[in-house]
Amino acid sequence: MVDKTLLITGGTGFIGSHTIVEILSTQTGFSKLVIVDNLSNSNTKVLSRIEEITNKKLGVDFVFEDVDIRDRAKLDHVIETYGPIHSVIHFAGLKSVGESVSKPLFYHENNVGGTVVLL
């Protein structure tokens, strides 16, 4: 089997964490799973729950990096450390409708700007 790395951004959020549980519970062909999240809408307790649900271990079966995807230097470091990255599932985005109306530039910087840095 060829080492293949999957990067999941926003992996400690609701959708990201459920996706990770599914990936860790099935044979996906990925030998490394790298989770990146800045914990703005979640916390590290999610990682313990992922371990409980999947019987997989943080640091062994998957890794977590507290990184904001808008931080190019830190994101580059993650990619250099765990790469090459073969696939990305991108969930790192803000989603509150009311807040996005009151802070449109912040949402644009985070959601669009973060995606541009990731790409």
pLDDT confidence of residue 50: 97
Q: Which residues span the domain enclosing 31?
A: 5-118
| Sequence-separated (6 or more) residues with CB below 8 Å from residue 23 | 6, 8, 30, 33
Is pLDDT at 2 greater than 90 in this prediction?
no
Q: Which two tokens stand for residue 91?
A: 């969930």
Structural domain total, the chain: 1
The pLDDT tens digits for 34-78 are 999 999 999 999 999 999 999 999 999 999 999 999 999 999 999
Is pLDDT at 13 greater than 60 in this prediction?
yes
Cα-only R_g, the chain: 14
For position 85, which CATH number holds? 3.40.50.720
pLDDT confidence of residue 1: 55
The pLDDT tens digits for 71-113 are 999 999 999 999 899 999 999 999 999 999 999 999 999 999 9
pLDDT confidence of residue 28: 86
